[in-house]
């Protein structure tokens, strides 16, 4: 079962690239972008991760934290983060249990873990979902546009 807009995420914890356990349980201090990607050090995933990095300041100014999640190990994430100077944490989900909780399905004929971005508000409610395995740059533009809409609607 996939999460839908309006659903609450259940609490979870994963190790980051420094092998520090990160716990996620609403309420959060900020909105969060969780982007699930297939694999460290592949061309498409590197492009997506670097695009999130390039837009990091825009996300920060909008009151949003970013977390990348894949099935890779913390050690793999550490190297990937260092080699690409990524300013946000990468979370290791080696058994795919969080991927399963979110309902991120495999893409490309069931061969690769899915590429899906979720925007979650401070209350743990899914506000936006973007799925595209082949449009890596779309995840960033789509997320920033959605965050602008969410922030505008909260000011009213």
| Residue 21 main-chain phi, psi, to 5 deg | -75, 125
12: β partners? 24
Give the start-end residues of each E strand in 1-156.
12-16, 21-24, 31-36, 64-70, 90-92, 116-120, 126-131
Single out the residue of 136, 109, 98, 106 nearest to residue 3, CA to CA.
98
Bridge-based pairing state of the strands 12-16 and 31-36: unpaired
C-alpha dihedral sign at 99, 100, 104, 105? positive
- In angstroms, the first-to-last Cα distance of the chain is 33
Considering the candidates 9, 45, 86, 129, report the single residue annotated as catalytic: 45
DSSP state of 7: P
Give yes or no: 50 in active site: no
Single out the residue of 51, 36, 129 nearest to residue 84, CA to CA.
51
Catalytically active residues are 45
């Amino acid at each position: 079962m996939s999460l839908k807009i309006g659903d609450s995420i259940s609490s979870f914890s994963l190790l980051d690239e420094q092998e520090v356990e990160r716990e996620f349980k609403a309420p959060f201090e900020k909105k969060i972008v969780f982007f699930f990607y297939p694999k460290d050090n592949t061309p498409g995933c590197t492009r997506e991760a670097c695009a999130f990095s390039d837009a990091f300041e825009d996300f920060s100014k909008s009151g949003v934290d970013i977390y990348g999640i894949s099935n890779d190990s913390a050690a793999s994430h550490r190297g990937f983060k260092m080699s690409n100077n990524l300013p946000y944490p990468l979370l290791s989900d080696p058994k795919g249990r969080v991927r399963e909780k979110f309902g991120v399905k495999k893409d490309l004929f069931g061969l690769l873990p899915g590429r899906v971005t979720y925007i979650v508000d401070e209350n743990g409610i899914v506000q936006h979902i973007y799925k595209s395995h082949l449009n890596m740059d779309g995840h960033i533009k789509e997320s920033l546009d959605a965050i602008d809409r969410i922030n505008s609607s909260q000011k009213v």
